[in-house]
Amino acid sequence: MPHVNVTIAGKSYRMACGPGEEEHLSALAKSFDDRITEMRGAFGEIGDMRLHVMASLTLADELHEARRRIADLERNAAQGAAEQARLAGGVGVAAERIDRLARALSGQPTGHASGKGEAERGN
């Protein structure tokens, strides 16, 4: 199992990860370290544990908001797909009506999708 050394708040940690995940884990650790550095600048030295908890809660809040937005987008997409299906059905009905009208105006019998009149079918 691969290992990565990461630095968070000035402390190094050796972390295990799956094969090929080394760069991703390093990037996550850097993002977390950046968040702690940002909060340290805003709040001063309030203790590493408190800064870590605050940074974790901030990231958890962002994740929660992202999940909520994804759920909203999925719900809107599903509603959009249902609306498209409803509209497509309406277009299909309209096309059938137009076809019947065209047949009626041209003197062809209605109700036959093949377009052949009774005489052409030999009836």
Structure tokens at 45: 């030295």
pLDDT in tens, 14-72: 999 999 999 999 999 999 999 999 999 998 888 889 999 999 999 999 999 999 999 99
**Confidence at residue 123, expressed as pLDDT on a 0 to 100 scale:** 43
For residue 102, the one-letter residue type is A
**Confidence at residue 119, expressed as pLDDT on a 0 to 100 scale:** 47
User: Rounded to two decimals, what is the model's pTM?
Assistant: 0.60
Tell me the pLDDT of the chain averaged across its residues.
88
Q: Give the C-alpha distances (Å, rounded to integers) separating 59 from 3, 17, 43, 69.
A: 24, 21, 17, 15
**Confidence at residue 45, expressed as pLDDT on a 0 to 100 scale:** 85
**Confidence at residue 111, expressed as pLDDT on a 0 to 100 scale:** 58
**Confidence at residue 11, expressed as pLDDT on a 0 to 100 scale:** 94
